[in-house]
Amino acid sequence: MIPTINVRDTKYINVVSYAMVDELSYETASTVIESWESLRRTENYAETTGRGLFIRFFREEPGAMAVFGFTKDGDDDDADADAVYESQQFLDVGKNFIEIVDQAVDMLGPDLEVLAEVLIDLGEKYHNEYGVRPEYYSVLGRALIDQLEEMLGPDVFGIHTRSCWLQVYGALAADMTSITMPETTKTESSPPTKSDRTSGSSSSNRCPKHRT
């Protein structure tokens, strides 16, 4: 059985405490894939989900707005934020993030080591080119999970599904931040390096390929 993890009382996900993506179980990945397929059947799911989660994210981390190319002008912060949230640039940022999650879910198949390498390179790019700090991924994860729960409802996105998403996102983010984490954090959490993961995990535990 997969342990149920409740994150309702915290806005953060401690990504360094989770397994890497190539260590995810079949059941965990299958549950996430099924719920994401339900989301895909929602009209304009990428734009709607992305907009909702980035509103949540910027409310928790207003300083991140500048990192993603948004600035506030004037004294009316609420009005200015509303204008940002309706802009095409904002919608594009949210949609692009969901498309990354989309691709990651598509790759939750037999070649998880490949997905891990892609995520590590992507995380390094975001850090070097855009200045995205590793701690942002924790708040983004909570925002994504809350947004999915709101859009899918409790019948589809129940406690078990929420727990599986927490584990999958934690694994994805752990890979993306594995290079950019401070050395002391790396030592404490002991994440595998690129060379460590060449041997992969046991094939009996690998996750299903959900599309044919």
H helices within 43-195, ranges in order?
Answer: 45-60, 64-67, 77-86, 88-106, 112-130, 134-156, 159-176, 183-189
Q: 201 falls in which pLDDT band (50, 70, 90)?
A: very low
Specify whether the CB–CB gap between 197 and 24 falls below 8 A. no
pLDDT higher than threshold 90 for residue 209: no
pLDDT higher than threshold 80 for residue 158: yes
**Residue bearing the bigger pLDDT, 69 or 109:** 69
**Residue bearing the bigger pLDDT, 109 or 99:** 99
Specify whether the CB–CB gap between 143 and 57 falls below 8 A. yes
3-state SS assignment for residue 86: helix
- In this predicted structure, what is the pLDDT of residue 190? 38
To the nearest whole percent, how much of the chain has pLDDT over 70? 67
Return the DSSP state at 179.
T
Kindly report, residue by residue over 7-43, the tens digit of the pLDDT: 444 444 554 445 566 677 888 889 999 999 999 999 9
Domain 15-43+95-205 CATH (choose: 1.10.8, 3.40.50, 1.10.490, 3.30.499): 1.10.490
3-state SS assignment for residue 210: coil
**What's the whole-number mean pLDDT along residues 66-85?**
70
In angstroms, rounded to a whole number, what is the distance separating the alpha carbons of residues 207 and 209?
7
Residue 59, both tokens? 């409310």
Return the DSSP state at 101.
H
pLDDT higher than threshold 70 for residue 110: no
Angle, CA 114 vertex, CA 111 and CA 116 arms, to 5°: 110
